[in-house]
Every structure is written in C-alpha cells, then in structure tokens.
Structure 1
Amino acid sequence: MTTTHVPCISVIVPVFNQAPYVAACMDSIRAQTWEGFEVLVVDDGSTDESVRIMRDATGDDGRFTIIEQANQGVASARNTGLDAAHGTWICFVDPDDVVAPEYLETLYHETRAHPHADVIMSTCIAFDSAGERRQRFFPQQFTVTAEAGKKPLYRQLMDGAYAQDADFVTAIGVPWGKLYRRALLTEHHLHFDPALPRMQDNLFNMEVFHAARELVYVDYAGYHYRMGGLGARTLANTAKGLYHPAIDARARLMRDYRLDTDADLRQAWAAEQVNLYYQEIKAVAALEPKDWNAIRNACWQRACMLHPRLSAVDHRSLPKAGRLKYAMLTNRFMNTVAATLLWKNHGK
C-alpha cells in the first residue's frame, strides 16, 4: 500500500517573463532549512527564457512542479496554483523576489504556536540596486480574533502609510509574506479576481481578513522584496483608469462588511479613492508633451470624466490633504493649479 505524502505548505510562484530573476528565486526556495513543502510554479505564457531557466534551476527536485498556461494574468496564475495545491497552508512568492533560508520554517513554527490561526502575516526587507530597507508593517506583533480588532488591517489596505514608518515601501495588502490556511480559502471560495486589472491581491486580502477567525502578525522579515520603479506602462495603465474596477469592488466590500459604518475606515476609503483619482490626473499630465495648455486641458477633461465617480466620494470625511486633492479634481481653478504644478514637474 502506497502512502501519499501531503505537504504542510504549498508555495505558489506565478511567473511571466522573469528570466533575469527567477533562478535566484528558485534557488532561495530550494535552500530552505525545512522540508515539508511543495512548490507550484505557474508559468503564465512567458515569451522569454523563464521556463528553461526554471527547469535548469529546479532540476530533478521532486518538490517542484512547473505548470504552463497561456497568458491570462497574475490573478489567473495564482488561482491555477491554488487549484493544484495540496498543502494545509498556502504561501505565495513572487518570481523576482527571494526568501531567507529559514523563511518557511519560521512561518510554519508560528502556525504551531497559534493552532487556531487562519493567516500568519510577516513583513519584509525591500531591496534594489541601491541597498535594502527593513520594513515593519505595524509597530508591534499582534493576534486578532474579533472583527473589531481587524480595523488596523483594513485601514492599511486602504492607506499603506497607516501605522508605518515614513520610509515604507509596501504594505499588508500583498499576498506574499503570509501563510493562508487552505481550508479557509476553500470554505469561503476565496480566489484572486482575474477581472480586476489592478489590486487583485489587496482585495483578495480584504476578503481573507474578513473571513478569518484568527490572524497573527509577526515582526519577521524573511521575505526579500525587490523594489521596482514606475515605468511608462504603469503610467499608461493608470491613465486608462484601470483602477476603477478595483474601486468598485472595494465599494461593494465596504458595504457588504459594513465597514462604511466606521468613521475611520470611511475616511480611509474616501482618501483612497481621491488618491487613486489624483494619480490618474498625474498620469494623464505625464503622458502629455511639456506644454502648459495641453496639460491644463488634459487635466480638466479627465476631471470632468471622473465627475460621476467623485460625486460618490464622501468628501466631508476626507483629511486635510485629501480635501486639497478633491478640490483639485472638482474645482476648475484648483484643477488649473494642479495642472500648473504638474507642468512644472513634468519629466522629473
């Protein structure tokens, strides 16, 4: 009689055209000090050498399975990994990042210390060619077992700066740096929404946090997150309004979870909307030639397009900075002021 070994952790790595980095990612997972895991590498239709490099890096290591699919986006790739996973816990690693040798062992130890936890959350070290920065998503460790205690998590999902140091790089809404109990995801049919062009991970975590019976945050930084700059593609996508479906999805969850009845969360939600719409104005301006009239007209035209969405924002609850941005999005004179500032900083 053959006994099938069920891994404790399923590590899911979604890959699309990451040839320069993916070998280091695979090597860091292979070097783990703990053995109870499987790795599901989902190649999402890469057109570079990613698959060959991954096969060379993993060799005959039976813990690694490479799944190839046509390009459908990172949400779909992560969902493919979820569907194929066998582990009690789910762990996501991005292909351009690396993890410390004791990473999985440390997180799994926390599941033993907190047997009722549905999610174990940790922080990271952010790095680029200039160096690295140790992050702390929250000032201290905590365990949450009641809905009221989840408020700081919801706030940081909407305001990445909340409870963080001034030099923060990323926030709690990322899927990596965590262990998710697979039974929780299965029970509540939780997955990444491939219909969302942006913020699938943040909204996935919002649903997970709401469903979880116990969440644990530990101030451990075994995940090394590669920082990247905002390129022309990001500007173009922001200018296209690709954040709008995520804003609509957030609005639905705010209502469904009754989070809009909390004054602090309502303020964070209003500020998030205004910040995203203001980023859209900035992107539109950046894509124009450095011509004051062209930038002024583009900013006001976009503000007019955004008017129905801005009308839905609870602007009375906005903090001071949010009120200023709201005015720049809704008032013609203030919009011209914003356009002038963007024109002066064009190309910088």
Structure 2
Amino acid sequence: MIAVTIVIPVYNAQRYLEDCIKSLMAQTMQSCEFIFVNDGSKDESQLIIEKYQKLDSRIILLNQENQGVSVARNNGISKAKGTYLGFVDADDYVSKDYFERLFEISKQTNSDILVTNFNTVSNDTIFSNVPIFEVGKVYTSKEIQEQLIPYFIKEDNLNPVWNKFYKTDVIKNYGIHFPKGIVIGEDGLFNLQAFNFAKSIFFTDYSGYFYREIENSAVRDVQNKDYFKIALQQYHYDYKYQFGVQLETNEIEKLKSIRFINNIISLTNIYLNSNFSASQKKKYIKAMMNNEVVQKIIKKYWTEIMSNKSKYQQFILYCIKVKSFFLLQLATKYSNFRNK
C-alpha cells in the first residue's frame, strides 16, 4: 500500500526540473510515488525525467499530447494509488522530510485537507510566508463554509494546490477535478470543490515547500494571455451551479465582484509596465475602464471595494470610476518613481 502520491505536471520545464526531481528523490518517506505528467514538452524535460526514473523506482512518467496543466493533473490523479495526494510544480522543490511531515500531521489530525505554510524563492533570496488562517486548528464543516469558502471567492492567495495535502478518497469519491479550458485560476477552482466537500481542514505553519517566483512572469505573459478576458471569465462563474457552493447568491455576487475589481487594479499596473506600445497600453486599459461590468460593479459595491485599500489603490479606483487614463498614468508613474 502506497502512503503518498505526488503529481507533478511538466511542460518545457528543463531549467529547474532537476532541482525538483532531486528534492523528491531525497524524501525520507519511501512509501511514495511521484507521477510526472509530461504535457507534450518540446525541450529536454522528458529525457531528464527518464534519466532519473532509472535511479528511483518511485518515479512514474506519463506522457500526453499538450493539453494543459489541468488535464495533466487530472491524468495524474486518475493513476494515484496513495492514501494521500499532493502536488508539486516542476519549477519548485521541497525539503527532504516534507512529505513524511505532512503524512504524520494529517494522520494525527485526521484532516481531509492539510494546508501548509511555504517559502518563496526570489532572486536567490528565500523568505517564509505568513499563514493566512489560524495554525494548529482543525476547521470543522461549519467553519469551512462560513470562513474558508467565502475567502476563496473573494481572494486569490489561498489558491495553490502545491501547499496542500489531500485525502485521496475525498478527491476521488466526490469527483473533484481541475476544470479544463481554464488558463489561470484552475488551482483555486479545484480547491473550492475540495474545501466544499471536506469535513475537516488543518493549517500548519510548517514550511517545507519552496515556491520559485519567476521574476516579472505576469508582465511577460501579458503578451500571450488576455488577463482581462480571464478575469471576466472568472467573474461570470456560477459558483452555486458549477461548484456546489452553499452561500447565498447575493453574498457570492458581492465577494466575486470585490475580487474582480481587485484584479482590475493589479492589471492596470501589469499593462502599464508591459512591453506594449503606448497606444496598446492605452487601448487595453481604456477598454477595461469602459467595460460595462467594471463600471456596474464599482457603482454597486463602491463602499465595499474601497474598504481596506491604501490611498494609492483608492486613487486608482477613482481613476477607473471616472475613466481617466491620464490620471491613472500619472499616478502609476509617481508610484514607480517613489518605489525606485
């Protein structure tokens, strides 16, 4: 019987892949399987995995045509034999006792889902993140529905699957899966389903996962991804019908509206700092400002949206509300100058 299954989706990940594999091979827990799902990589990723597969019987390689990270993870889940299930991204790495510690904590607390703290690696600097929820506590079904589910709809920073540890039976018995065709945010939607069905969730401050932050990745990706279109898509999710969320419809609407406008604030900064021409930046940002959904939400939830915002964010919101690209550009330039 295998205790732990770890699924690692891989697409053109040769730059950091060996670091990831070596950290998994060094795990003190032997009752593991590491399922690498090669999503049609065109670099040396497959060859790298095959090389290490010969050295460690815990490494399993699945190859598929390029279908995206959601399909890759779903295929990995379908092959999982472990009592517990976890995920690692091919850019990241873990401490050598990581999965042994997670297994022990999960068994001790009998939690359906374990949420860990994690470390961020940025420009060779490592810092531990601050836990979002109270650690050392088991959240019951009632607390999950009242505190954690609303947080998922309103915020983004609980989304990752790589700092969570799941009972495999919960995932498989309820048919929890990564939605296909989602370019960004598939982690959050997977977790929204998992948390919704979980009977108990435990948060620990143990930090054994090392998330590698790729500098300016969002600014670069904006050339290939329409982030505003994606944000609109996320806003239009029917959380009750698609994901079985039990909150009142009005509450869901308010929470997802706040999240949507927070994303718009971030996108203004991403677009203004992108490599687009001045005319392209103006075109994209004015399209966001003039969008009917954006203006409707700002008018309806202005008080809630302005709450807990810095003066700079409040001014950005004002610029969006009055549709002033000129003022927005001035504010961003001033902020960039102050932060130099």
TM-score, normalising length: structure 2? 0.85
Structure 1 segment 161-180 matched on structure 2, within 5 A: 171-180=157-166
Residue type matched to 1:122 in 2? T
Segments of 5+ residues of structure 2 without an aligned counterpart are none
**1:319 paired residue among 306, 314, 332:** 306
Residues of 1 paired with 2:284 and 2:31: CA distance? 55
Decide whether the 8 Å contact of 2:20 with 2:93 is kept in 1: yes
Residues of 1 paired with 2:286 and 2:158: CA distance? 34
Residues of 1 paired with 2:295 and 2:39: CA distance? 36
1:226-267 deviation line (CA, Å, top 9, x unaligned): 11123344223245522332232265579952435686x776
Segments of 5+ residues of structure 1 without an aligned counterpart are 1-5, 161-169
Residue type matched to 2:120 in 1? A
1:30 aligns with 2:25: yes
Alignment partner, residue 65 of structure 1? 60
CA gap 1:126/1:25 in 2 versus in 1, 3 angstroms:
same
Structure 1 segment 62-141 matched on structure 2, within 5 A: 62-115=57-110, 117-137=111-131, 138-141=133-136
Decide whether the 8 Å contact of 1:17 with 1:48 is kept in 2: yes
Alignment partner, residue 195 of structure 1? 181
Alignment partner, residue 336 of structure 1? 326
Residue type matched to 2:292 in 1? H
Decide whether the 8 Å contact of 2:53 with 2:60 is kept in 1: no
Decide whether the 8 Å contact of 2:19 with 2:93 is kept in 1: yes
Alignment partner, residue 153 of structure 1? 148
Decide whether the 8 Å contact of 2:193 with 2:243 is kept in 1: no
Decide whether the 8 Å contact of 1:296 with 1:336 is kept in 2: no
Residue type matched to 2:326 in 1? T
RMSD: 3.0
Aligned pairs, number: 329
Decide whether the 8 Å contact of 1:239 with 1:284 is kept in 2: no
Structure 1 segment 144-293 matched on structure 2, within 5 A: 144-154=139-149, 156-158=151-153, 171-231=157-217, 232-236=219-223, 237-239=225-227, 241-249=229-237, 251-252=239-240, 256-260=244-248, 268-287=255-274, 291=278
Residues of 1 paired with 2:250 and 2:236: CA distance? 19
SS at match of 1:221: strand
Decide whether the 8 Å contact of 2:36 with 2:61 is kept in 1: yes
Residue type matched to 1:242 in 2? I
Alignment partner, residue 308 of structure 1? 293
User: By how many angstroms is 1:17 displaced?
Assistant: 0.8
Residues of 2 paired with 1:159 and 1:34: CA distance? 37
User: By how many angstroms is 1:67 displaced?
Assistant: 0.4
Residues of 2 paired with 1:301 and 1:108: CA distance? 48
SS at match of 1:61: coil
Residues of 1 paired with 2:295 and 2:238: CA distance? 15
SS at match of 1:12: strand
**2:41 paired residue among 37, 43, 46:** 46
Residues of 2 paired with 1:279 and 1:171: CA distance? 14
Residues of 1 paired with 2:22 and 2:208: CA distance? 15
TM-score, normalising length: structure 1? 0.83
SS at match of 1:71: coil
Decide whether the 8 Å contact of 2:135 with 2:202 is kept in 1: no
SS at match of 2:13: coil
CA gap 1:44/1:7 in 2 versus in 1, 3 angstroms:
same
Residue type matched to 2:80 in 1? A
Residues of 1 paired with 2:317 and 2:305: CA distance? 9
Decide whether the 8 Å contact of 2:153 with 2:255 is kept in 1: yes
Residue type matched to 2:322 in 1? N
Decide whether the 8 Å contact of 2:39 with 2:72 is kept in 1: yes
Residues of 2 paired with 1:211 and 1:58: CA distance? 35
